A and B are shown apart, each in its own frame.
Chain A
Amino acid sequence: MPDELLTHAYCEEVFGQVADTARALGVPDVEVILAGEDHALTRFANNTIHQNVAERGVHLSVRPVIGGRTARASTNRLDRQGIREVVDAAIAITRLTERDIDLLPLVAAAPAGEVRRYYEATAAATPQERAQAVAAAIGAVEEKGQTAAGIYSTGASVFSLMNTAGVFAWHRETMARFSITAMAEDSSGWAKSSACHHADLDPLALAQNAAAKAEYSRQPEVVSPGRYTVVLEPAAVLDLVGQMFGDFSATAIRDGRSFLNDRIGQKIFGGNVTIHDDVCDPLQSGAPFDGEGVPRRKLTLVDQGVVREIAYCRQAAALAKVEPTGHGFPLPNEMGEAPANIVIGGAASSLSEMVRSTERGILVTRLWYIREVDPYQKIFTGMTRDGTFWIERGEVTKGVRNFRFNQSLIELLSNVEALGKTVRASGEESVDMVVPAMKVRGFNFTEVTRF
């Protein structure tokens, strides 16, 4: 294997070996996924680097299609014997599986959207480079008499998918993430950012932001639970609203597990809510093709509050007699498909304008441990964390203890009073998305915790 991670030529060579091996065993139809990652992460806590890791790995998986049957076998051994064994295993388990009358033949090639998401400098970022940025960030937090914890990661990944019907899709990208929690005696603040080019991150600014939040929320006061107007920063919007997009799936609807059952075409959100899935958005990341190699198409999921489009994998599309949208997961799977590159339309309000226009409310930095309470009303529970503030007469006046919420997303997106500019947001509970900050009335806080 070359030093460079899974080059186009190398992927082609491995695919040739897989296809030849399968053909020699009497199996002409085969799909191959070859993916790899070279990733490093510098982790710090208590103002010191304490875990500092790097990993490099590859993943080859083979999916034959034999008489309406399919299954997948995987390995990380790419020598000739490893390849032969994984092809043998894939064919053996495919022959033992059940015939699926809805299984489609391998898809033919089609052009995907152009995206550029690979930056040599990010792929080559060194432990020293990360450590120096971390040291500066820790310094900014220590200056305030606080304690810092967080991560700085950089890495490159390749995802390639090839099949004997002519698909050869190859995508590589780099990704960098910096996140930091600043802790004072009885308060904390948090900030996080991600970008395909690590030069687009500003660890020092993120550290200063987190430290300012920790400083400002010292001696948090107890505010009774209840319904409040909230100003949700982009990470809070992402982590909460991001929970619903798995339901914008034709398979989920057919299974009866989606909250969109009997709601397609209806206006279920406010008229100021428009949501797209767009892999080519410049702030997005990810491959422009899906788990079968189908190009990802831009979808209008919600148009001015009305649910318009959903994602279709090839099989779901064939059953519904529509075109696939390019959002399918690698086969075989039970879930079908889901949007993966969410862009929620924003507006012109700044965070400070949202605060200024709020008589009484709560400013939320981040939400945590979000779990579904009711799958059809789309109620989620979770906690606020690392920077929760009271707003009074248009000003942030104090930190408050963290709340538990139980909130329906249908209700939340019907009560949006203001939207900020869209940004690439990064949290911990949903994949990174392009979202605005939101001001929402009547957010349902049900309990208060001890800090």
Chain B
Amino acid sequence: MKDLALAALDLVARRGVTYADVRAIEIRDREISTKNGKAGHVSSAESMGVGIRVLAFGCWGFAATDDLTRQGLEAAAALALEIARAGTAAHKSDVQLAPEEKHEASWVSTFRIDPFTIPIDRQLAELLAVDAELRRQKGISLAEASMHFERRRQVFASTLGSLIDQTRYTAGAGFSALSYKDGEIQRRSYPNSFGGQYQLKGYELVEELQLVQHAPRIAEEAVALHSAEQCPEGEFDLILDSSQLGLQIHESIGHPIELDRVLGTEANYAGMSFLTLDQLGRLRYGSDIVNVVCDARVEHGPGLGTFAYDDEGVEAQSTDIIRHGQFVGYMTSRETASQVRQSRSNGCMRADGWARLPLIRMTNVSLKAGQQSLAEVFDSDRAIYMETNRSWSIDDKRYNFQFGCEIGWEMRHGKRVRMLKNPSYSGISTEFWNACAAIAGPEHWTLWGVPNCGKGQPEQVMGTGHGASPARFRKIKIGSAYAG
């Protein structure tokens, strides 16, 4: 792999470029799922290729290939350069990059059990045991469980002289139970919806999740939701579990702080951001207890956004985003850092594979744990508590959002008084975070994985991490998804 990356770099560097980098990537993937007592999806995949990025004539060019012969690499190098030259047809100013040091490193993410050493029949048996528990509950129409593992080795080489060899193991697992009855569909998932929990771990993640033990409760709740009352509409205190809060962070903080969005380069698809440059250091983004970081370092935890170096060879860092409610930081790249006259990128460039160009992507954007106990978080005269995301939507500048959850409860003085179905809430990002009244402590903090974040054209799908503990928000608009 190193030889491959260096050979490709040599081929492009000798053509005369301002800067170039190469990522040679080998991915191994395994997906297993079950559905209603049978194997659903059983597959393994391997992919290897090279992406070549050049800066020449003041413009970027990028070409990717899985033809790893010398001829294939030469063709890709020539195409990358031709593409950069073509960019001069609509070109305003030369691309400038913030300075970066040369790095040489080799790094493998920590894992206890290599998931690829566990036989598929054992993994299937684990999922079928979950499936059987779910279907033991009368009224379950559809039981689904899944596991997903990936090993990704990437060798990065650049004309700065950097040579970085990284291998990341990621794992994901979860299940859901769906119940159709009398013209209504209800679903419950564990430990999160849309595939469960994802982390930078090996098979130990599956063991930690204790899937089988949680199956009976989840199935029971899915069926019980049919007889629960509809979530009321109005303004209430809102308490969110940490997984839903993780997605709230992703959508209403993570995306708006991407500096490429702020500077307009994602305007045609993902959109822009309300966090214009004049807001930095001035905007009140949250209440005093809201502290958010963007942290790709191992010290932050085994998140989908944890790595040693980003995809343009910048070391993993921790950046304060919101400090005691004040907006203080963006996620940057070498190019955007230079555009806003910052001395260095904070290392957020990531690509979803060898075929795609790195973009500014979330690493681990997390709400720091608070100081309240769980009882204090739930201590409200009347509140709605919501768990597990069901739907999510936010406008293209990231102001107005609406989320739906799988299940809710009406809370009175910290006690659950009734289950609520179809709960939803909506608001404006800054108003929501300014209404944050309590955040539970570190013992309740979980680093959640979002494996399916889309951005870019052509679209790239990235895994991001979001740490959160349960939190309470004052006077939030609830229930408008079903209004009217």
On whether the beta carbons of A127 and B86 are closer than 8 Å, the reply is yes
Given contacts A376-B185, A450-B428, contact A227 B62 (CB under 8 A): no
Q: Is B295 an interface residue (CB 8 A)?
A: no
A139 to chain B, nearest CB (A): 9
On whether the beta carbons of A131 and B62 are closer than 8 Å, the reply is no
On whether the beta carbons of A77 and B67 are closer than 8 Å, the reply is no
B138 to chain A, nearest CB (A): 14
Given contacts A76-B48, A449-B399, contact A48 B91 (CB under 8 A): yes
| Complex contacts, A76 vs chain B, CB 8 Å | 46-49, 66
| Complex contacts, A70 vs chain B, CB 8 Å | 42
Q: Which of A8-16, A50-58, A108-116 contacts B (4 or more CB under 8 A)?
A: A50-58
CA distance A190 to B65 in the complex (A): 32
Partner pick for A52 among B45, B84, B178, CB 8 A cutoff: B84
On whether the beta carbons of A72 and B43 are closer than 8 Å, the reply is yes
Given contacts A45-B265, A55-B356, A383-B400, contact A135 B89 (CB under 8 A): yes
On whether the beta carbons of B119 and A96 are closer than 8 Å, the reply is yes
| Complex contacts, A86 vs chain B, CB 8 Å | 46
On whether the beta carbons of B40 and A45 are closer than 8 Å, the reply is no
A-contact 0/1 string along B259-302, CB 8 Å cutoff: 00001111111010010000000000000000000000000000
On whether the beta carbons of B49 and A332 are closer than 8 Å, the reply is no
On whether the beta carbons of A96 and B120 are closer than 8 Å, the reply is yes
Q: Which of A163-171, A255-263, A319-327 contacts B (4 or more CB under 8 A)?
A: A255-263
A-contact 0/1 string along B444-484, CB 8 Å cutoff: 00000000000001100000000000000000000011111
CA distance A78 to B208 in the complex (A): 38
CA distance A261 to B357 in the complex (A): 43
On whether the beta carbons of B86 and A55 are closer than 8 Å, the reply is no
CA distance A402 to B393 in the complex (A): 14
On whether the beta carbons of A447 and B480 are closer than 8 Å, the reply is yes
Q: Which of B3-11, B31-39, B195-203 contacts A (4 or more CB under 8 A)?
A: B31-39
| Complex contacts, A97 vs chain B, CB 8 Å | 39, 42, 120-121, 124
| Complex contacts, A40 vs chain B, CB 8 Å | 83
A14 to chain B, nearest CB (A): 14
CA distance A48 to B339 in the complex (A): 15
B-contact 0/1 string along A420-451, CB 8 Å cutoff: 00000000100000000000000010111111
CA distance A130 to B86 in the complex (A): 9
On whether the beta carbons of A334 and B267 are closer than 8 Å, the reply is no
| Complex contacts, A188 vs chain B, CB 8 Å | 267
B-contact 0/1 string along A166-207, CB 8 Å cutoff: 000000000000011101000010100000000000000000
Q: Is A89 an interface residue (CB 8 A)?
A: yes
On whether the beta carbons of A332 and B394 are closer than 8 Å, the reply is no
| Complex contacts, B180 vs chain A, CB 8 Å | 256-257, 261, 376
Instruction: Find the residue from A50, A77, A379 having the highest chain B CB count within 10 A.
Output: A50
Q: Is A281 an interface residue (CB 8 A)?
A: no
A-contact 0/1 string along B39-73, CB 8 Å cutoff: 11111111111000000000111111111000000
Q: Is B397 an interface residue (CB 8 A)?
A: yes
Q: Is A39 an interface residue (CB 8 A)?
A: yes
B272 to chain A, nearest CB (A): 8
CA distance A226 to B47 in the complex (A): 50
Q: Which of A306-314, A352-360, A363-371 contacts B (4 or more CB under 8 A)?
A: A363-371
Q: Is B110 an interface residue (CB 8 A)?
A: no
Minimal Cβ-Cβ distance residue in A for B36? A255
Q: Which of A145-153, A231-239, A286-294 contacts B (4 or more CB under 8 A)?
A: A145-153
Q: Is B257 an interface residue (CB 8 A)?
A: no
| Complex contacts, B391 vs chain A, CB 8 Å | 371-373, 381
Minimal Cβ-Cβ distance residue in A for B82? A127
On whether the beta carbons of A406 and B483 are closer than 8 Å, the reply is yes
B179 to chain A, nearest CB (A): 7
Q: Is A47 an interface residue (CB 8 A)?
A: yes
Q: Is B326 an interface residue (CB 8 A)?
A: no
CA distance A402 to B397 in the complex (A): 11
Q: Is A159 an interface residue (CB 8 A)?
A: no
On whether the beta carbons of B41 and A383 are closer than 8 Å, the reply is no
| Complex contacts, B393 vs chain A, CB 8 Å | 369-371, 381-383, 404
Partner pick for B482 among A94, A375, A379, A428, CB 8 A cutoff: A379
| Complex contacts, A150 vs chain B, CB 8 Å | 268
Q: Is B443 an interface residue (CB 8 A)?
A: no
On whether the beta carbons of B64 and A450 are closer than 8 Å, the reply is no
B117 to chain A, nearest CB (A): 14
Minimal Cβ-Cβ distance residue in A for B142? A255
CA distance A222 to B399 in the complex (A): 15
Partner pick for B128 among A98, A138, A368, CB 8 A cutoff: A98
Cβ < 8 Å to A, chain B residues 149-193: 178-180, 183-185, 187
Q: Is A46 an interface residue (CB 8 A)?
A: yes
CA distance A416 to B86 in the complex (A): 46
Interface size class of B (residues with CB under 8 A): 35 or more
B173 to chain A, nearest CB (A): 15
| Complex contacts, B404 vs chain A, CB 8 Å | 373, 381
On whether the beta carbons of A48 and B90 are closer than 8 Å, the reply is yes
| Complex contacts, B43 vs chain A, CB 8 Å | 61, 71-74, 93, 332
Cβ < 8 Å to B, chain A residues 64-122: 70-77, 85-86, 89, 93-94, 96-98, 100, 102
Minimal Cβ-Cβ distance residue in A for B265? A45
Cβ < 8 Å to A, chain B residues 120-157: 120-121, 124, 128, 141-142, 144
| Complex contacts, B457 vs chain A, CB 8 Å | 41, 43, 51, 151, 153
Q: Is B396 an interface residue (CB 8 A)?
A: yes
| Complex contacts, A57 vs chain B, CB 8 Å | 49, 64-66, 355
On whether the beta carbons of B38 and A46 are closer than 8 Å, the reply is no
| Complex contacts, B392 vs chain A, CB 8 Å | 371
CA distance A188 to B396 in the complex (A): 12
Q: Is B402 an interface residue (CB 8 A)?
A: yes
Q: Is B79 an interface residue (CB 8 A)?
A: yes
B472 to chain A, nearest CB (A): 23
Minimal Cβ-Cβ distance residue in B for A332? B41
B436 to chain A, nearest CB (A): 20
CA distance A382 to B402 in the complex (A): 9
CA distance A61 to B88 in the complex (A): 40
On whether the beta carbons of B400 and A406 are closer than 8 Å, the reply is no
Q: Is B441 an interface residue (CB 8 A)?
A: no
A388 to chain B, nearest CB (A): 11
| Complex contacts, B178 vs chain A, CB 8 Å | 255-257
| Complex contacts, B80 vs chain A, CB 8 Å | 54
CA distance A39 to B64 in the complex (A): 10
On whether the beta carbons of B91 and A49 are closer than 8 Å, the reply is yes
Given contacts A58-B66, A255-B142, contact A98 B484 (CB under 8 A): no
On whether the beta carbons of B66 and A333 are closer than 8 Å, the reply is no
B254 to chain A, nearest CB (A): 15
Q: Is A134 an interface residue (CB 8 A)?
A: yes
| Complex contacts, B484 vs chain A, CB 8 Å | 226-227, 406, 444, 446
| Complex contacts, B66 vs chain A, CB 8 Å | 56-58, 76-77
| Complex contacts, A93 vs chain B, CB 8 Å | 42-44, 120
Q: Is A374 an interface residue (CB 8 A)?
A: yes
Given contacts A1-B67, A183-B267, contact A50 B42 (CB under 8 A): no
On whether the beta carbons of A52 and B91 are closer than 8 Å, the reply is no
Q: Is A213 an interface residue (CB 8 A)?
A: no
On whether the beta carbons of A332 and B39 are closer than 8 Å, the reply is yes
B264 to chain A, nearest CB (A): 5
| Complex contacts, A85 vs chain B, CB 8 Å | 46
Q: Is B388 an interface residue (CB 8 A)?
A: no
Q: Is B380 an interface residue (CB 8 A)?
A: no
On whether the beta carbons of A127 and B83 are closer than 8 Å, the reply is yes
B335 to chain A, nearest CB (A): 9
Q: Is A298 an interface residue (CB 8 A)?
A: no
15 residue pairs of the A-B complex, CB under 8 angstroms, read A43-B268, A45-B266, A53-B63, A57-B65, A73-B44, A102-B38, A150-B268, A188-B267, A334-B144, A371-B391, A374-B482, A376-B183, A406-B481, A406-B482, A446-B484
Given A51-B265, A97-B39, A406-B484, 13 extra CB contacts under 8 A: A41-B457, A48-B91, A74-B43, A93-B120, A96-B120, A128-B86, A333-B40, A369-B394, A374-B481, A376-B180, A381-B402, A446-B484, A451-B399
